[in-house]
Amino acid sequence: MLTRNAGRVVLALTATGAVLAPPALAYAEEPLRVDLRADVDRDGRVDLTGDTDTAGENTWSVERGAVFLPNIDDDSKRCPTTGPNGAQLSDKKLAGCNDASDKKVNGRADAADLARVRSVPMTNLPSDAKGSVKVTKGAAQTRVFIKRNGSWKPVTSQTRLTRAELRAGVEFGVEGKDVIRDSAKWDGRTAIRLKVTSSSGTASDTVTLRAAPLLTHHALQNTQQLLVTKVKGDDSWAKHQRKFVKNLEKEAQQAGITKPLVTFEKYGDIWAQDFVEPAYLNMTGTDGRQRTMRVMLRSAQDREAGRELFEKMRGPDIGVVQAKGRDMQGWETLNSYGNLETIPPYAHNGRSFPAGRIIMGERRDGSGIRPSKEIRTLLKSQGLQDPLLLDTSWLHVGHVDEFVQFLPADTPRGWRIGVADPEAGLRLLRDAQRDGHGATRMFSVPGFDGQQAPTETVDQALASRYLVSDNTMAAEKIAANLDILKRETGVTDEEIVKVPALYTRGTETGDEGTRVPLLRRLGGSAGPEAAEEHGQQQFLGRDGTPATGSTPSAAPAPAPNTVMTSAYVPGAVNGILLSRDRYLAPRQWGPVIGGKDIFTEAVTAAYTRAGMKVSYVDDWYTYHLGMGEIHCGTNTLRDASAAWWKR
């Protein structure tokens, strides 16, 4: 009789003894065995001979499991930015084009954006053997290619693998069509099955991969390039803003940043922190190095300036993700990305965040207003940076960057928390008054373009109906938020840097006619007429509404007994980390006593104690009067080459 073991001699028994069976019955075939493998250990190589990529090939965790990239960049620059005759494309059409929106492997000859899956060569195959490939999970979000004769072809339901291909081993490439948007609908996993059939039977094997998570940057990643808006026009405010850009470039160069500024010049929205959040995708490439794709996450706030991310930045290794979700009930400012910062990597109380953790602000005044549900769902669905919400209902703009930051540190944790300290700001004024300097001007900033410099004195500031109470309240709110951060991260008081600051509720005309007006048009003289004259979008206040000199209509009515404030003295924590030890803060323009600005001296001392070298740039008329500072008006691209699964 025949057996299933090829090469085994079969004996026939007779009455006189054993004899050899006829040659036709001497050999049989081995059972089919299919072995499909992916880069489970994330070293960039699919191991076909050892066992490094076999354990856990159908499971996935932060530490282990094959990864593929959502292929949303535009390697060959094929995506249009305008329609016929230069017509403006809709947001939907702008966002609808990327390398994954067609069925080709675009751009790079080495197909670096594709994750590899390989089959172990099958040497003993019947002559009628053939194979097929099917995506059994995540098919709508994934595309698989097969490499044939040196080129990549999309796998379809009609694709068949020949016996020769199966004997040699087959190479597949996997790309994602989009980032993970909602893990309840798709958790990022895709399962690929290779099935082989023949006259001797059928066998199959399946491997699981997961889309690389979309991650935001944190302060331990080195700054590589700065983003800023550069406004057009010949009026004095526009020239003043361009001077700010020039000074910013100089500071970047002195900090060792060699890449030139990325300047947004089309739409006139100066709040470059707010209409985009730079993020990244990362997997190990076939060369063993990290394959990184930058992703510009467009604000859900419908700011037109976000279109320039597609028009100017999208290209090789740079994609753009657009998520709208306007469910803000009239307070769209929380959807600006100054309201999104990232705690550096940490582990505490059994939870680990190797890629850092997002913080965002919400209103805790009974209104229930939070950032867009769609954005929060997208961020949480990545599975690594679970957003932590803080209370920003006490801030008029409502952004976390107005009071908290994270700084590198030579400590076991590797970073510190920097927070605004209103109590220290009040002490500076009280000490100045005590020492006989109450008549000194509160602000040393000069006038601009016919606008009178603030004349308020230290005595008048301290005698204000609101200044002390506003800052007492701000200190309490900051302390409550800091308690949340300490509880969640394990940070101690010794790891907190307190930076002098002052806040004020501000009014349209100014308290007693002397308080700095915070709800005025940016730049004083750059009104709607100036914007129209130069063909620009009207300048926006940082809450995303036209800064017309009155309370923006989109700002919500505060709940009873709720006070909303903004920076009185330019907010020092609202600056830019240029390198591990260099920090750029907004010029303070505080009271000058004995030839020195007392706020500048105190801020410098705070950062120096934290190991930082501080420099300053003037943003008073460009950003401060619009309720923001230089952090609000800029953005950073950081080094994302490290593996996110390793801390």
Among 20-24, 44-48, 577-581, the least confident range: 20-24
Q: What is the DSSP letter of 356?
A: -
**Do 402 and 521 sit in the same domain of this protein?**
yes
CATH number for the domain including 95? Answer: 2.60.40
Q: Which of 83, 177, 155, 164 is nearest to 129 (CA)?
A: 164
What confidence score (pLDDT) does residue 510 get?
38
By the 8 A CB rule, do 471 and 454 touch? no
**Do 57 and 170 sit in the same domain of this protein?**
yes
Q: What is the pTM of this model?
A: 0.89
**Do 262 and 136 sit in the same domain of this protein?**
no
How far apart (Å, rounded) are the C-alpha atoms in residues 553 and 519?
11
Structural domain containing residue 5 = 1-30
Q: 211, 231, 255: which is the final residue of a domain?
A: 211
What confidence score (pLDDT) does residue 18 get?
44
How far apart (Å, rounded) are the C-alpha atoms in residues 442 and 336?
31
With cut-offs at 50, 70 and 90, classify the pLDDT of residue 588.
Answer: very high
**Do 360 and 379 sit in the same domain of this protein?**
yes
Among 142-146, 520-524, 577-581, the least confident range: 520-524
Q: Over the stretch 61-98, which tens digit does the pLDDT of each residue have?
A: 999 999 999 999 999 999 999 999 889 999 999 999 99
With cut-offs at 50, 70 and 90, classify the pLDDT of residue 452.
Answer: confident
**Do 248 and 327 sit in the same domain of this protein?**
yes
Q: Buried (b) or exposed (e) across 353-378, using 16+ Cβ within 10 A?
A: bbbbbbbbbbbbbebebbbbebbbbb
**Do 305 and 244 sit in the same domain of this protein?**
yes
CATH number for the domain including 460? Answer: 3.75.10.10
Say if residue 514's pLDDT is above 70: no
What confidence score (pLDDT) does residue 506 get?
65
**Do 233 and 289 sit in the same domain of this protein?**
yes
Domain count, the chain: 3
> Quick check: is 359 in a domain?
yes
**Do 439 and 401 sit in the same domain of this protein?**
yes
Q: What angle do CA 112, 43, 124 make, to 5 degrees?
A: 85
With cut-offs at 50, 70 and 90, classify the pLDDT of residue 552.
Answer: very low
> Quick check: is 643 in a domain?
no
How far apart (Å, rounded) are the C-alpha atoms in residues 122 and 196?
10
With cut-offs at 50, 70 and 90, classify the pLDDT of residue 640.
Answer: very high
> Quick check: is 357 in a domain?
yes
C-alpha radius of gyration, the chain, whole number: 31
With cut-offs at 50, 70 and 90, classify the pLDDT of residue 368.
Answer: confident
> Quick check: is 78 in a domain?
yes
Say if residue 399's pLDDT is above 60: yes
Mean pLDDT to the nearest integer, 309-318: 97
**Do 207 and 219 sit in the same domain of this protein?**
no
**Do 42 and 1 sit in the same domain of this protein?**
no
Say if residue 443's pLDDT is above 70: yes
With cut-offs at 50, 70 and 90, classify the pLDDT of residue 416.
Answer: very high
Say if residue 385's pLDDT is above 50: yes
Q: Over the stretch 162-175, which tens digit does the pLDDT of each residue have?
A: 999 999 999 999 99
What confidence score (pLDDT) does residue 418 get?
98
What confidence score (pLDDT) does residue 17 get?
45
Cross-strand bridge partners of residue 441:
457
Q: 211, 244, 278: which is the final residue of a domain?
A: 211
By the 8 A CB rule, do 179 and 70 touch? yes
By the 8 A CB rule, do 408 and 207 touch? no
Q: Could you give the residue ranges of the DSSP H alpha helices within 444-590?
A: 458-463, 467-489, 528-533
DSSP 579-590: ETTEEEEE----
- Average per-residue pLDDT in the chain? 88
Say if residue 205's pLDDT is above 70: yes
Q: How many CB atoms within 10 Å of residue 593?
A: 17
Q: Over the stretch 467-496, which tens digit does the pLDDT of each residue have?
A: 999 999 999 999 999 999 999 999 999 999
In this structure, the strands spanning 11-14 and 17-20 are: antiparallel
Supply 585's token pair.
């803060």
With cut-offs at 50, 70 and 90, classify the pLDDT of residue 367.
Answer: confident
